[in-house]
Structure 1
């Protein structure tokens, strides 16, 4: 596989994408348990838990929904990225690493081991912010957005149970 082209963005752009996804998850009722959980197998960007017996499920009358764990891979890319916005970077080898890393997490936190688990993928689009309106690019409707002085990030797609 050819090497990806050099990035015009600083290394922390991926962290900004993770910040965006973490805020979105929290706004939808998830609790972010860990960020950048790392072990010898690799790293999981976000580990989140949806509490099935929270206030929302009690109000709706659904008291049987168990807590769920999501191991979330966040891909932050600019327009025209070499890997289809990060989708092509979730190879079988990457999935295997995430699977093993999740197993290490569950061994470290055995109280979570019986929860239903899934592997989610979040696709984040990043573009430089510009004071000039002529340079602002329109993006497809996003699920959630975040702007900094330098960048605008849009959560373009969230894929629950993307693999596993």
Structure 2
């Protein structure tokens, strides 16, 4: 049985994060940071809700954990990967982010989870038919590197600590 090599999972994860970033921007969220690192871990996306009347005013922050999975995965499209331990790690990471960005520390914060499904496109014909990339607002889909990424679910305030 021959399998074609898959790109590194970090590439698939980055493409899933790109899809979610675009989707959030179309909903008037501002991307503040992508893959923010500290000693506790990484925040996939740090986004701010912008006041529509005064775009320079930020209303709230969301720390978005993006889970990109292929079809037939074992963990409910990534939802089961958000364990209590993972939630505590994200909380500590977010605390360090806010300590590094004191001007944002007084904003209301929440933890969102985005579940992205990716599937390898079977042929160049299928890829050609899928082009151009559908509007994120309509379909929340992204075609890249021979894969189709679809936002399966976006869970605002997915957990609280």
Q: Is TM more than 0.5 here?
A: yes
2:75 paired residue among 70, 75, 83: 83
Question: Deviations for 1:19-66, whole angstroms, at most 9, x for unmatched residues?
Answer: 100111111100000000111111110000001x323x89xxxxxx96
Kindly indicate which of the two structures has a greater share of residues assigned to helix. 2
Does the alignment pair 1:112 with 2:104? yes
Secondary structure of the 2:71 match is coil
1:10 paired residue among 1, 4, 8: 8
* Gaps in structure 2 of 5+ consecutive residues: 127-137
Cα gap change, 1:18 to 1:66, in 2 (>3 Å): closer
For 2:36, the equivalent position in structure 1 comes to 37
Superposition CA RMSD, Å: 2.2
Cα gap change, 1:120 to 1:74, in 2 (>3 Å): same
TM-score scaled by structure 1? 0.80
* Gaps in structure 1 of 5+ consecutive residues: 1-6, 59-64, 134-141
TM-score scaled by structure 2? 0.82
In the aligned structure 2, how far is the partner of 1:66 from the partner of 1:45? Answer: 19
In the aligned structure 2, how far is the partner of 1:66 from the partner of 1:146? Answer: 28
- Contact 1:129–1:149 under 8 Å retained in 2: no
Aligned length, in residue pairs: 143
In the aligned structure 1, how far is the partner of 2:58 from the partner of 2:94? Answer: 19
Secondary structure of the 1:54 match is coil
